[in-house]
Amino acid sequence: MLSEQTIRIIKSTVPVLETAGVEITKRFYQMMFTSHPELLNIFNHANQKQGRQQTALANAVYAAAVHIDQLPAILPVVKQIAHKHRSLGVKPEHYPIVGEHLLKAIKDVLGEAATPEILQAWKEAYGVIAGVFIQVEEEMYSEAEHQPGGWEGFRAFRVQLKEKESEVITSFYLVPVDGGPVADFQPGQYVSIKLEIPGEAYTHIRQYSLSDAPHNPYYRISVKREDGADSRPAGKVSAYLHEQVKEGDTVWLSAPAGDFVLDEQDTRPVVLISGGVGLTPMVSMLNTLVQRTPERPVTFIHAAVNGTVHALKQQVLETAGKHPQVSAYFCYEQPGEEDRAAQAYHKEGYIDQQWLQTVVPDAAKAVFYFCGPLAFMSVVNHSLRKMGVAESDIHYEFFGPAGSLESR
């Protein structure tokens, strides 16, 4: 337990963390990777270059400071991060390294303002917070290994089938090389895939949502090739998977993880909303719903630039055709002539509140899950709140480090 004095000192640093948090975390990663370059085998290099990892860590540190006197309040965030850590292979021995360089970064950025009392308080607080992470992750590691079909660390999988779904998205059907069963998962979860790319100094690990229902003898991931846009670097892993990995090749996976999951005990109507490749966990949820609770009403809404980049479209249409309780709607930002001729979409432009209200007139009686680009999710979240949907009925997933759909 932390003393009242330590709690008071930590809370006194909240204003500076709000303004200088990202600067501290940027410095932290620079210092840590300089001293421990082997950790680059774990961290996503693209997220580092884009600043997403630094921002996510700054938000987590800020939240910890705000709630330092009531740490159970941040347990949901701890579990979300712990899922990522377990899937990447973060271990207890990594936490002292992180703590050492986080304190160094605080001192380096704040200078004389980082008094010995502040540094000591943060050292004590970090020890308590790290202990919580280690305990939660230990339970997750044990569960992943000892569940039926589970395993420790990374397991070899063979690409049984590689299937092009659109101009930018390809699905990979993966089966265990050892011939054993695969661990079950909850619709919405992801797996981490580890690759050693020729010419790259470090291992690359990426997380991809599972895009089919559980209880199959395979895992399916549907990967978008990231060519780079809007100052974002091109995706080395996605390009390698698309261009180099072939049927019969071996990749390495950690067991399924993630807390963005479908509540299968809920019987209310469910609305699944996605943008771009954010449809992958939504399709997993859709396929699960029609198999396990075929009477539950489902509204599936997907937004894409146009039909050429719309993946898994035919599968969704076939599912809706077979199951009367499923309604599917497509929104295309820039529909092409073929899209218009086929009338396979229901709205031109962007998803907005006015259109959502026509598609889901009883929104307050439904539960919502959505995933996609950050700006897309912000609009959906804002629209749902305006439509009277309770916060507890709104669930969403960030691809990559957690961001925020609300201003602080």
253 CB-near residues (< 8 Å, 6+ apart): 154, 155, 157, 174, 191, 192, 193, 194, 219
Structural tokens at position 100: 């050492």
The number of residues in the chain equals: 408
Point out the annotated binding site for NADP(+): 276-281
Structural tokens at position 166: 């659109």
219 classed as catalytic: no
What is the C-alpha separation between 381 and 375, in angstroms, rounded? Answer: 10
Best CA proximity match to 301, nearest among 220, 355, 337 = 355
137 classed as catalytic: yes
Identify the active-site residue in 4, 18, 38, 95: 95
Point out the annotated binding site for FAD: 190, 206-209, 398-401
Residue 112: Cβ-neighbour burial (10 angstroms; 0-12, 13-18, 19+) = exposed
Structural tokens at position 388: 């009277």
Q: In the Cβ-directed half-sphere of 253, how many Cα atoms lie within 13 Å?
A: 29
Identify the active-site residue in 29, 126, 137, 240: 137
Residue position matching structure tokens 């090749």: 249
- Biggest alpha carbon–alpha carbon distance for the chain: 70
What is the C-alpha separation between 343 and 310, in angstroms, rounded? Answer: 14
Point out the annotated binding site: 85, 190, 206-209, 276-281, 398-401
Point out the annotated binding site for heme b: 85
User: Are 219 and 176 a contacting pair, CB within 8 Å?
Assistant: no
Best CA proximity match to 114, nearest among 16, 34, 23, 7 = 16
Q: For 308-342, b where at least 16 C-beta lie within 10 A, e where not — what string?
A: ebbbbbebbeebbeebeebbbbbbbeebeeebeee
Which residues belong to the active site? 95, 137
